[in-house]
């Protein structure tokens, strides 16, 4: 296994047990559940979509040959529950369908754990991740880790090891990422063609979601950002309560989830079909930075190194446009750039939109990784010390890029980003 994240103290014992809990149902209000989303590490390791299950990975080489087992603990049968929610996967089916070595009702977890984990056993469990499933953390802490008046002295974090594996996609995963990117790309084209002046940002976001779902995506990967005019300068603007006015740019940051794999695209386009001269000046600075950064995606580079280049490229463009003083040196320039480009140029992409956060952005890029490249420039109306002519403009362009042996492959290039091509596409919109 490649060591991309920080390493852990060595564990030399012969008996290991990893505990990976699933997610549980979250509620919007009394009896009204949010759409269920599985814990990503759990889904990666099991493929199992039901809530409230626990995976044990048991490894025992005490008797000579190592013996590895994946054991899933699922909810017991409950006809009352199934009356409301439909059938759920039984233990026997978990073995048949998901290829588990063994599966049992969750009631059997404490005794199974005691049987599999002696006092010298190393336990791999992320005790600090208590956000999604409080009941399980109580069960694991009280019934497993602190049971029988012993506490596990050898407790290690599992998460970063799973992320080290998840960050490199297999060929099957690359196929799913490609499909996710292609669905979101088609949905982007349809949505850009649909948008009109005086339309609400909510409608534009709903159009994107509809176009993704009708192409087979199960959901959007995150609530789309649809932001017109000065609202594009609010980086995570999700309310979408505004109306797009004639003459404004619309920034849409949106992606879908296809069979568990996310896409993440941003385009910014003029709602009336033509960039103004000033909008185009900023747009071209961002586009040129995006193009240069995509060229830097290859084995051996890193997201942080590409970000550093992005700051320098965008900084020089801003000097040429008279936004930043020409005489600033590199350090001062990067500092000044962060006022207008305050986020990172990219992140890992995979089952999560901000995928494998345990893997550093200093890690060396390797074939099979997928990253986003997403430079932006944001000139809020409120910014001081900059030319008034650009105020109210916010632009980001984002693509999904697979690292290959020979360099990279852009998975989202079907969505036009060249300003002239965008204008051509907009001028061929059906009149409605």
Q: Which is nearer to Mn ion, 121 or 232 (CB)?
A: 232
Chain centroid, CA 323 distance in Å = 33
Structure tokens at 349: 């992409």
What's the order of all strands across the beta sheet hosting 265-270?
A: 225-228, 249-254, 265-270
- Residue 265 CB, shortest distance to Mn ion, in Å, is 8
Structure tokens at 227: 């932001």
Q: Which is nearer to Mn ion, 126 or 399 (CB)?
A: 399
Q: Which is nearer to Mn ion, 315 or 376 (CB)?
A: 376
- Taking CB under 5 A as the rule, which mask of x and - marks residues 350-379 in contact with Mn ion? ----------------------x-------
- Taking CB under 5 A as the rule, which mask of x and - marks residues 50-89 in contact with Mn ion? ----------------------------------------
- Residue 301 CB, shortest distance to Mn ion, in Å, is 18
Closest of 182, 218, 160, 159 to residue 402, by C-alpha: 182
Q: Which is nearer to Mn ion, 19 or 402 (CB)?
A: 402
Structure tokens at 180: 């996710």
Q: Which is nearer to Mn ion, 211 or 264 (CB)?
A: 264
- Residue 4 CB, shortest distance to Mn ion, in Å, is 20
- Residue 316 CB, shortest distance to Mn ion, in Å, is 24
- Residue 324 CB, shortest distance to Mn ion, in Å, is 25
Give the number of residues in contact with Mn ion, rule: CB under 5 A: 2
Question: Which residues from 205-234 bind Mn ion, rule CB under 5 A?
Answer: none
Q: Which is nearer to Mn ion, 20 or 359 (CB)?
A: 359
- Residue 234 CB, shortest distance to Mn ion, in Å, is 15
Contact 129, 158 (CB under 8 A): no
What is the rounded CA–CA span in Å between residue 15 and residue 22?
Answer: 23
What is the rounded CA–CA span in Å between residue 370 and residue 165?
Answer: 13
Q: Which is nearer to Mn ion, 50 or 372 (CB)?
A: 372
Does residue 225 sit in helix, strand or coil? strand
What is 251-295 written as a DSSP string? EEEE-EEETTEE--EEEEEETTS---HHHHHHHHHHHHHHHHHHH
**Terminal Cα distance for the chain, rounded:** 56
Q: Which is nearer to Mn ion, 60 or 264 (CB)?
A: 264
- What share of residues in the chain are helix, strand, coil (percent, to 5)? 35, 20, 45
- Taking CB under 5 A as the rule, which mask of x and - marks residues 249-268 in contact with Mn ion? ---------------x----
Closest of 393, 356, 390 to residue 371, by C-alpha: 356
- Residue 374 CB, shortest distance to Mn ion, in Å, is 5
Q: Which phi and psi (to 5°) does residue 341 adopt?
A: -135, 75
- Residue 222 CB, shortest distance to Mn ion, in Å, is 9
What does the binding site for Mn ion look like in residue numbers (CB under 5 A)?
Answer: 264, 372
């Amino acid at each position: 296994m490649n060591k991309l994240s920080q390493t852990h103290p060595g564990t030399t014992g012969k008996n290991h047990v990893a505990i990976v809990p699933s997610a549980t149902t979250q509620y919007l209000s009394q009896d009204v559940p949010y759409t269920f989303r599985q814990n990503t590490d759990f889904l990666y390791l099991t493929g199992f979509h039901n809530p409230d299950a626990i995976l044990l990975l048991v490894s025992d080489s005490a008797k000579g040959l190592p013996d590895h087992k994946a054991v899933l603990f699922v909810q017991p049968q409950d006809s009352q529950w199934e009356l409301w929610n439909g059938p759920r996967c039984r233990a026997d089916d978990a073995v048949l369908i998901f290829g588990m070595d063994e599966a049992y009702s969750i009631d059997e977890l404490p005794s199974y754990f005691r049987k599999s984990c002696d006092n010298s056993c190393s336990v791999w469990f992320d005790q600090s991740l208590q956000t999604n499933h409080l009941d399980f953390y109580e069960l694991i802490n009280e019934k497993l880790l602190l049971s029988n008046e012993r506490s596990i002295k050898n407790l290690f974090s599992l998460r970063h090891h799973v992320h080290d594996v998840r960050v490199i996609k297999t060929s099957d995963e690359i196929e799913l990422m490609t499909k996710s990117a292609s669905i979101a790309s088609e949905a982007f084209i349809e949505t850009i063609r649909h948008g009109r002046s005086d339309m609400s940002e909510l409608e534009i976001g709903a159009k994107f979601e509809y176009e993704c779902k009708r192409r087979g995506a199960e959901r959007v990967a995150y609530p789309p950002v649809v932001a017109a005019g000065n609202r594009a300068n609010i980086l995570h603007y999700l309310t979408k309560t505004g109306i797009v006015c004639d003459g404004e740019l619309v920034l849409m940051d949106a992606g879908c989830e296809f069979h568990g794999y996310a896409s993440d695209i941003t385009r910014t386009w003029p709602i009336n079909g033509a960039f103004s001269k000033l909008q185009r000046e900023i747009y071209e600075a961002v586009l040129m930075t995006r193009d240069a950064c995509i060229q830097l995606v290859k084995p051996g580079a890193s997201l942080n190194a590409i970000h550093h280049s992005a700051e320098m490229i965008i900084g020089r463009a801003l000097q040429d446009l008279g936004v930043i003083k020409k005489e600033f040196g590199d350090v001062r320039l990067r500092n000044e750039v962060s006022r207008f480009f305050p986020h990172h140029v990219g992140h890992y992409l995979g089952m999560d939109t901000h995928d494998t956060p345990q893997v550093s952005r200093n890690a060396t890029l390797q074939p099979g990784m997928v990253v986003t490249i997403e430079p932006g420039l944001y000139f809020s109306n409120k910014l001081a010390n900059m030319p008034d002519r650009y105020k109210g403009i916010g632009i980001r362009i984002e693509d999904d890029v697979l690292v290959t042996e020979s360099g990279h492959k852009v998975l989202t290039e079907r969505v036009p980003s060249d300003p002239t091509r965008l204008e051509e596409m907009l001028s061929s919109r059906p009149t409605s």
